[in-house]
Amino acid sequence: MSDLPRELALHKEEIEKIASNYGLDFYTTIFEIVDYDVMNQLASYGGFPTRYPHWSFGMEYERLSKSHHYGLSKIYEMVINNDPVVAYLMRGNSLMDQKLVMAHVYGHADFFKNNAYFGTTNRKAIDMMANHAVQIRRFVENIGAERVESFIDLCLTIDNLIDPRANFPVESAQEASAYDVDPSRLPVAKLKAKDYMEKYINPPEFLAEQRKKLLQEHEEKRKIPQRPVQDVLAFLIQYAPLENWEREVLSIIREEAYYFLPQAQTKIMNEGWASYWHSTIMTKHKLEDSEIVDYANSHAGTMSMAGGRFNPYKIGIELFRHIEERWDMGRFGTDYDNCENIAEKKAWNKETNLGRKKIFEVRKVYNDLMFIDEFLTPEFCQEHKLFTFALNPKSNEYEIASREFEKIKQQLLFQLTNRGSPFIFVVDGNYQNRGELYLWHRFEGAELKLATAKESLKTLFHCWRRPVHIQTQLQDQFKLLSFDGKELSEKNLPKEEAYTDGWGRETEVPD
């Protein structure tokens, strides 16, 4: 690890000062210079110097170093959400590129510290990863490399079964209460009545029915889980008959999945924000005249949407600018929305100058899903020529499907909802009273890929050690995929038997 050369250190100091003056707020930021190979190695580890041993990092390294070798890709910047923030600069990049990357990194650093979704991430991530590595190496020594590796393989096939809302504390599914009493001793609610009116106002049949209901409710409370649980990993850790080391490995995988979760939830915003700031800092402060062309080239390369590619950097930065412009000119609120005079709307400028303030607020409380939902406008889609595409099975080519605003927005939201993964819940840990695990895929129009779903079922079986089921839907038909340890089966499920938001009972379903 090398200290920054003097020249770069001076630039770093300046950029840091400029960023602070704009109101960016970040943890201490450290830059390290590494050569391309170390950069590729670090990138394979998600930026961390140490991760637990697993071949998948080696696979990533093979891919990265090959694509570097063939000149297909080059990693420009890498930054870790940690306190202090650690970022890497590629040795041999031009001074202009180094300045650009540094400015960009301060954008990320500010975002990490201030965006609400990062609020609960472990800020000692480098230590955390290193500790995980130590733990897993110890298991490798004591348990054997092969068993540990294949268990990690298994864990990684279900590492997306976490709850994306868990950045914010959710009430536990199984809450104990000091007021828990034997249900047969619970009083049934009665209306007040005179003795002689009692059997008319509180008919005994009705009371009996109420009592039955009460007992049934209590019975359901004993169900595991009480409500559908989206954090399947946590459920397994708590209830599956795992060996201790397995439980530990699964916890590690889960902890890391949650650490990386906000990065997936805010990709567009995070990159957009960092790009907005590198652009601002570079063009207003840090560019020499002689560097303009190179800068424009680098910036345009990062922002490129060539080949119809959806580029989160580009969409992010443009949306932030779009918001800034709207709030600078007062183009928001009921007055503006209700204005039906096109000419007036086009010339709308109330000189509110709230743009900067607004984008700082947006970077604090939004994630990508809300960001797109709230700020994507028809004008924006038109200006940036957005479209939706779909696979045409006949030609086996992607074809432009639509340029309608609603469709584009819907598609984007779909991709961003639950990180583009299906919603899967544990709904019963004691299915048919046989200790079998019942998962529910909440169907929202998109079907599961059955081949991989079956593989994942096998993983779950390994953890649960009893038959596992997942209920899903193909078009209108309910399906139940099951694995009993020997064979996979697939059967159609009549509508009455299928779990739909709570097997006939009323349950609040998280969205």
Partner 1 sequence: MYLKITTDHARFRNIIKGKVKKDLRKYISNAESLGVKGGRYISIPMPTIDLPHFEFGKNEQSGVGSGDGKEGDSVGQPEDGDGGGKAGNAAGTHIQEVDVTLEEMAEMLGEELGLPRIQPKGDKNILAQKSRYTSVHNLGPKSLLHFRRTYKEALKRQISMADYDPLDPSIIPQSRDFRYRSYKELPVENNSAVIIFMMDVSGSMGDEQKSIVRTQSFWIDTWLRSQYKGLETRFIVHDAVAHEVDRETFFSTRESGGTIISSAYVKALELIEREFPPEQWNVYLFHFSDGDNWSADDSKKCFELLEKKLLPVSNLFAYGQVESLYGSGQFYRDLTERFQASDSSSEKIVATRIPNREAIYDSIKEFLKKGL
Residues 319-358 that bind partner 1 (CB under 8 A): none
Q: Which of 386, 343, 425, 403 is nearest to 164 (CA)?
A: 425
User: Angle, nearest 10°, between helix axes 244-265 and 125-143?
Assistant: 150
Q: Is 490 in the site for partner 1 (CB under 8 A)?
A: no
Q: Please report whether residue 250 would count as binding partner 1 according to CB under 8 A.
A: no
Instruction: Out of 30, 166, 224, 305, name the contact with partner 1 by CB under 8 A.
Output: 305
Instruction: Give the span between the Cα atoms of 114 and 253, in whole angstroms.
Output: 25
Of 110-139, which residues contact partner 1 (CB under 8 A)? 133
Helix or strand holding residue 123 (H, E): none
Rounded Cα distance, 243 and 249, in Å? 10
d(CA 464, CA 102): 47
Q: Does 44 bind partner 1 (CB under 8 A)?
A: yes
Contacting residue, 455, 502, 507, 510, with partner 1 by CB under 8 A: 455
Which of 451, 486, 487, 505 is the binder for partner 1 (CB under 8 A)? 451
| Beta pairing partners, 41 | none
Q: Which is nearer to partner 1, 133 or 282 (CB)?
A: 133
Region binding partner 1 by CB under 8 A among candidate stretches 60-68, 251-259, 329-337, 349-357 = 60-68
Binding to partner 1 in span 393-432, by CB under 8 A: 395-403, 408, 411-412, 415, 420-422, 424
Shortest distance in whole angstroms from residue 201 CB to partner 1: 53
* Phi-psi group of 311: left, alpha or beta (phi > 0 → left; psi -120 to 50 → alpha; rest → beta): beta
Q: Choose, by CB under 8 A, the member of 61, 117, 273, 276 that binds partner 1.
A: 61
Q: How many other C-beta atoms are found inside a 10 Å radius of the C-beta of residue 388?
A: 15
Tell me the closest approach of the beta carbon of residue 443 to partner 1, in angstroms.
11
- 49 binding partner 1? (CB under 8 A): yes
Site for partner 1 in 19-38 (CB under 8 A): 34, 38
Interface with partner 1 includes 80 (CB under 8 A)?
no
The footprint of partner 1 on residues 370-389 (CB under 8 A) is: 384-389
Report the residue number, 137 or 247, with the smaller CB distance to partner 1. 137
Q: Closer to partner 1 at the Cβ: 286 or 314?
A: 314
Measured in degrees and rounded to the nearest 5, phi and psi for residue 229 equal -110, 125
**Which is it for the CA torsion 410, 415, 419, 425, positive or negative?**
positive
Write each residue from 154 to 173 as x if it is in contact with partner 1 (CB under 8 A), else as -, in one continuous string.
Answer: --xxx-xx------------
Burial of residue 464, with CB atoms counted within 10 A of its CB: 0-12 exposed, 13-18 middle, 19 or more buried: buried
Phi-psi region of 190 (alpha: psi -120 to 50; beta: other; left: phi over 0): beta
